[in-house]
Amino acid sequence: MSAITAPAAIESTPTPIPVSQVLPWAFLLGLLAIVTVYFVGAEQGAVSLLSGTGVHEFVHDGRHLLGFPCH
């Protein structure tokens, strides 16, 4: 038999990510989430930014899945 040895494990410590780098991405994702919830839950309802029924029909099934009444 041959003796195969694994190389010694290199221990490295993870470097923390500064908050100043995470904050813009967190803000962007939060804004995107708010816009998404608006279009799924409130667009074509009592307050509507766009005319027509295109947005409503596009998010119709998602609206029911999330429990928003639409008709």
Per-residue pLDDT tens for 13-66? 888 889 999 999 999 999 999 988 877 777 665 666 667 677 777 777 777 887
The pLDDT score that the predictor gives to residue 24 is: 95
Residue 13 domain flag:
no
The amino acid at residue 66 is L
Domain region containing 51: 20-65
Check whether 7 has a pLDDT greater than 70.
Answer: yes
Nearest to 38 by CA among 11, 12, 66: 66
Check whether 1 has a pLDDT greater than 80.
Answer: no
Mean pLDDT computed over 7-15: 79
More confident residue, 4 or 35: 35
Residue 24 domain flag:
yes
Residue 29 domain flag:
yes
The pLDDT score that the predictor gives to residue 22 is: 95
Residue 37 domain flag:
yes
Q: Are 43 and 56 in contact (CB under 8 A)?
A: yes
Rg (CA), the chain: 24
Nearest to 44 by CA among 21, 62, 19: 62
Residue 60 domain flag:
yes
